[in-house]
Structure 1
Amino acid sequence: MNRVNKLKTWTIGYTFVLPALLYMLLLVGYPIIDNVRLGFQNVDMSNFIQSDHQFVGFQNYIDLFKDGTILRTLFNTVVYTVLCIALQFVIGISLALFFNQKFALASRLRGLVMISWLIPATITAMVFKYMFALDGGIINNALMSLHLINAPIGWLVQPELAMLSLVIANTWIGIPFNMILLTTGLTTIPKDIYESASIDGANAIQRFFRLTLPLLRPAILSLLVLGFIYTFKVFELVVIMTKGGPVNSTEMMSTFAYKMSFDQFQFSQGAAVANIMFIVLLIVGFWYFRVVHKEEVS
């Protein structure tokens, strides 16, 4: 009878899991596998409708690295991701510590901060594009009214400033996500620990670096990995605000893959760029699971 109950439980469990499993296999697993296949073939606009495509091995990847643009886009994506994650984390943990204090408007202000995360990325990109506009942009008008600059700055037409503009826009989106996860982590830390540390003479800075950060390590690790994945595959902000320019200074892996596939119709090379992105994110994912497994074992 016990074996029958176990079989019944197993059947019910897998029955509930089956729809999600089929969804992942059809809409996630199959596109990934087919994209890997496409990266090893020669598929462009001239032979797209043909059923039999030439197998070229790693030639698409070799051509990408010979051209050099893939290295520039990879560098841009890494720099953009690191800057965004660093700013989001610093501001996010500052807000988390602030809202963790008990005062009258804490919950309402915390909910207000969440608005930037709830707004669709396309809307945010359009808003920041007009804010950083050369003529009539809010940023230039504000800086000129404060007499910090004498003439409007071309935020989106200068390479370094264009990247900075994207980082600021994405940071504004990601701050609430960091704040909420870190606030949740702070609520799990017992207050008695801080009281004991205060009695022992630890000041606020010592309590933060020796208690708060170590106890928040699991939440911080998850936050950084998720932030890396979400930020590394940025698309909407770049397409709307800079279109990868000027002179490829803000070209990211995702936008480069899109342009190769749907602007230049080099479908195989576009797939190869996407596969490189997938490998990078897969490595980050495996590293995260390895670290988490070591912590659980220890």
Structure 2
Amino acid sequence: MTITATGAATAGTRPPAERTTGGRGRGGGLLRWCFVAPAVLYMLAFFGYPLVRNILMSFQHYTPRTYFTGSSPFNGLGNWRAVFSDPLFTGSLWHTLVFTAGSLLGQFVIGLALAVFFSRRFRLSGFARAVLLLPWLVPMVVTSIVWRKLLDQDTGVINTVLTGLHLASGPVPWLSSPGVALLSAILVNVWIGIPFNMVILYGGLQEIPRDLHEAAALDGAGAWRTFRSVTLPMLRPVVTVVLVLGFMSTVKILDLILALTAGGPADATQTLGTVTYRLSFEQLDFGQGAVVGNVLIAVSAVFAVLYLRANRADFGRGK
């Protein structure tokens, strides 16, 4: 009986370590939240509030008068209907897709080719890589103005060289023809983005073990087969990062188009970013400008979700 009572008493008594575990767990959780709280507050203040405010503004009649009267009447879907029924919005959406796809393709292909080229060490390779970084370091507006001078139909250096080498029968209207202006903007943006792609992809190539390439060579795989079967699969996470960052910076581009063509000629280079600028800061219709801004946010969010789902699926297959 004594043993039974003692055992029962012992079973009913919690050890000191067990008694303090719950308190320590709650204290640790509170401490973790204290570290996370500044970042959460920052995100809510500088990202959450502007996003919510922009969504609300798209349903209001918001003009410069609002800043003096404080009145922004609810407009329902009026702003959305006005924007979606405007041919300028439809054209700008198409131009944005073409501009983004062309820029990403050109930047990635040329950047990857240069990364593979520089992965083979040679004399002055470091200096050459540093020189190729210059287009990415120069401010976008300065780059756009320089390229506008180079592509000028009458006095541009590029037309002078092309006609001098008899590669063109006459001056090419790079920025003054609706059929060529968007292509010119894509080429300039490709030139700007090549260094970023090259540097990131070059770093990814350096992380691939050389043993894999040697094993592929021993198996009789050629250079192209090795690149396709070994290099690209190993480089896939880096490629994903490059494409996502490139998409985010290209789909909302504004300063390049404004300085290069100002959306012309005949609205041939209008993108969602330039339409947002025109509606908000030229026509001073902030409600309709917020609508186009929300469309940009939605496009970026869809792309981000697809990227996260693809990465999660790859991680699941890897496990």
Report 1:57-206 matches (<5 A). Answer: 57-206=76-225
Partners of 1:128 and 1:72 lie apart in 2 by 24
TM-score normalised over the length of structure 1 = 0.93
Corresponding residue number in structure 2 for 1:216: 235
Bigger CA drift: 25-34 or 240-249? Answer: 25-34
- Structure-1 separation of matches of 2:44 and 2:66: 28
Does 180-189 or 53-62 show the bigger shift? 53-62
Deviation, structure 1 residue 138? 1.2
Please identify, of 134-143 and 238-247, the stretch whose mean Cα deviation from structure 2 is larger. 134-143
Q: CA deviation at 1:145?
A: 1.6
| Cα distance change, pair 5–133 in 1 and its aligned pair in 2 (3 A) | farther
Residue correspondences, number = 298
Bigger mean CA deviation after superposition, 218-227 or 269-278: 218-227
Change (3 A) 1:179 1:14: farther
Give the match for residue 273 of structure 2. Answer: 254
For 1:56 and 1:140, how far apart are their aligned partners in 2? 50
* CA positional deviation for 1:15: 4.9
Alpha-carbon distance change, 11 to 82 in structure 1, aligned in 2, over 3 angstroms: same
Q: Offset at 1:47?
A: 4.5
Q: 1:3 to 1:170 in 2, by over 3 A?
A: farther
Q: Secondary structure, in 3 states, of the residue corresponding to 1:49?
A: helix
Q: CA deviation at 1:105?
A: 1.4
Q: Deviations over 1:154-184 (max 9, x none)?
A: 2111012111111111111111111111111
Q: Secondary structure at the match of 1:221?
A: helix
1:36 aligns with 2:19: no
Q: Is 1:281 aligned to residue 308 of structure 2?
A: no
In the TM superposition, residue 48 of structure 1 has moved relative to its aligned partner by 4.8
Percent sequence identity over matched residues? 37
- Stretch deviating more after TM superposition (38-47 or 5-14): 5-14
Query: Alpha-carbon deviation of 1:148?
Result: 1.6
Length-normalised TM-score, structure 2: 0.88
Unaligned residue ranges in structure 1 (runs of 5+): none
Q: 1:263 aligns with which of 282, 291, 297?
A: 282
- The RMSD of aligned alpha carbons is 1.9
Residue identity matched to 2:71: D
Runs of 4+ with deviation above 6 angstroms: 1-9
